[in-house]
Structure 1
């Protein structure tokens, strides 16, 4: 009985570890890539087979910025009996580091490819993943490579970034974006949507107390006719000339 329990615990531990795949790929280049970094995975571009969370953590030397990216996607199909209809669905990325390069997903030779559009001198990162619940196979998370190649696959999509914060986000030198949506620059107690304790430099500032022109998009809004617009333009031109003469 004890032996059976021990074997069950060993099997459970192995199964839990199999869901997490650390350090699948360690990348470093003592130079600058021509195209970017193409990560060739062994994840099949097959609909409904995986829903991975992939992390890319490292450093971009020439930018002096850290890399901390989290990427996720799902492969779906308009017709699960026709592999040509497969496509990437719900692809998304977030960054908690200093660098947020453009990321693309593509399918090459039936496998998922992650392309980092970043030509950075002396870049290093490690790639890890978590996947469970979609009959993923451990062999899919081995043998990944990183090469300096352009994208040449199909169904290529750019992965949008989506970061969210709750509570207060504090800036250096006494600033805040608080939980109420108010921004303070030079102050951490903003009383309005934007409070600035200091000088502001801008090319143009437009102030409107009310009647923001959202109403022009309503179906019942009546647009001016072309003759009316022409008349208004002529009147404005006359007014401008009068003001110039008065100066």
Structure 2
């Protein structure tokens, strides 16, 4: 009963202080992100709440501290209402002084999964950093930075929250982060200028990185330097003795990466297909030469039989 009364008082306090715009300053340390709790003002209006958090001027609070424009669209669970989601659109610059990249947002969470409250948590960088906000519906913000309110704090009937030291993996520091799935039903081409990661945020510089299995009806790989040069007269075909020596010393065919190299670096399908074809063409030349030897030996055997 005491917990329920405490929750009601907290909700009433939020409603009293609720407004559509304002400024907050997060204390604590600059290298930490502190939880701030925002109310879902659109919930009782049966609508999506829209919260914008920004700092347009890069010199706010100190020289070159950084700028941020973030937009959150959300609808909270409130103890079992399943149409909940949190979508974020973040654009921010990096710190100009020093080599350390500076993010302002480290994550977010719905803190109403086990209670009928109205609170969404957003972790914002501290160290006396100011943020300006605008909300489609009236909202309020409670800051837990060890200054305005103590840390850690216990969600009502839920999780214990404290600061973060780095952004969570789901946070796209310069773009969209979406809760649901995406369908593009247009029949035209969709264009992605940057790199695309499926199952991984680290593409390692490749245009497409997939952490998992890939299934396709057809895959076409474009490659240059197709190894028909093996059949050219000037091609230096290694002898079988040289190939045998290389295998004994290295444990793999000449020109083919070792198992350790493949494990560490993967395989370029186009390049590997070319290398395998090169070995097939070399084998073909070996077989042709061997066949000539066998034919010559057979002629000699037949000649000896006749004698």
TM-score (norm 2): 0.35
TM-score (norm 1): 0.42
Higher strand share: 1
Task: Point out the structure with max Rg over C-alpha.
Answer: 2
Higher helix share: 2
Q: Greater relative contact order: 1 or 2 (C-alpha under 8 angstroms, separation 6 or more)?
A: 1
